[in-house]
Amino acid sequence: MVSVSLLKATSYDVDTLEQQLRDLLAPLGGMAAYVKPGQRVLLKPNLLTGARPTKECTTRAELVYCVAKLVQEVGGQPFLGDSPAFGSAYGVAKANGLLQWAKKLDLPIVELHGKRYQFQQEGNFDNLLLSKEAMEADVVINLPKVKSHVQLTLTLGVKNLFGCVPGKMKAWWHMESGKDCQKFAQMLVETAQAIDPDLTILDGIIGHEGNGPSGGEPRRLGVLGASQNVYALDRAMVDVLQIKPSQVPTVAASQRLGLCPNNIDFVLQSPAELYIDNWQLPEKLMPIDFGMPRVMKSTFKHLYIRFIKEPIAAYAQR
């Protein structure tokens, strides 16, 4: 039976949050169960965008800081990495207030670059480029944000690992999937299988509802979740939000592929104890495919932010 730890949590105050994370991980063996001295540990937050820093579109900086602190405490060597949709990991981290917290711990921020890795499982996406920094890390700790999503209903732990597909390859895979949402969801699940995170810690203290992943609004949920099994944790959070698993393509795909367990041991609190009423899903779901014009526009926007806007902003502060 797979263990999932869920905890009522209401504050991003770092002292309070650090204790909440200790309480969350204690039934799972604590951070020492996942990180050994000297291991290089990738912390993979959701660094979607720097455009809406007050709208809870990204994993909170305080949570990343506290997790990194716990990793260092047991002798691990954490580094932060992501491949944002627009701009650089460093630029998005800075825009969302993460840079100052990273500096407190000398936490490196790296850009995720690609390398072709052969998947061991039988799948349709064995030619997918994946981040060498993620694949070659000793430990991967996945730090997703609870958000509604206009194409996938919800983005949770599995979807967050799509950030390990570097650069604009993500847009090309949207286009490759066409209008087949099930195919795209299966690709996301197979990516999660390949990355195989050692631990997922879900930031649900404040989520992002409505027309996410960036066009919605913050919503206080008061939930932290953790598990070694990312599929079980996503399934649990769907129950907390009182959404049918069949409505969330990544959860449905993980069930279809036999990755999501039927029996989950909730070692602290159950989803029923943390129910959220009237969570707002997108007003209207958008097609999963990115046509060629949209891919080109997205690519241009990414390159403009990455190589023009961010460098100019940095220069202006000198």
DSSP reduced 3-state for 241? coil
Residue 208 near residue 148, CB atoms below 8 Å = yes
- Taking the mean position of all CA atoms in its chain, how far away is CA 265? 23
pLDDT in tens, 138-151: 999 999 999 999 99
- The pLDDT score that the predictor gives to residue 317 is 52
pLDDT in tens, 50-69: 888 999 999 999 999 999 99
Query: Per the structure block, which two tokens stand in for 93?
Result: 């981290």
- The pLDDT score that the predictor gives to residue 302 is 53
Q: Supply the DSSP string of 113-128, one letter for each residue.
A: -EEE---SS--S-TT-
Query: Per the structure block, which two tokens stand in for 72?
Result: 């260092």
> Per-residue pLDDT for 309 more than 50?
no
Evaluate if pTM is beyond 0.85.
Answer: yes
pLDDT averaged over every residue in the chain = 88
> Per-residue pLDDT for 202 more than 80?
yes
- Backbone angle region of 278, left / alpha / beta, with phi > 0 → left and psi within -120 to 50 → alpha: left
pLDDT in tens, 248-298: 999 999 999 999 998 999 999 999 999 999 999 999 988 776 554 555 555
Could you please state the CATH topology (level 3) that the domain comprising 2-291 is classified under: Rossmann fold (3.40.50)
> Per-residue pLDDT for 303 more than 60?
no
> Per-residue pLDDT for 314 more than 50?
no
Give the highest mean pLDDT range of 50-54, 75-79, 162-166, 189-193: 75-79
Rounded CA separation 181/276 (Å):
26
Domain boundaries defined on the chain = 2-291
- The pLDDT score that the predictor gives to residue 128 is 72
pLDDT in tens, 212-245: 999 999 999 999 999 999 999 999 999 999 999 9
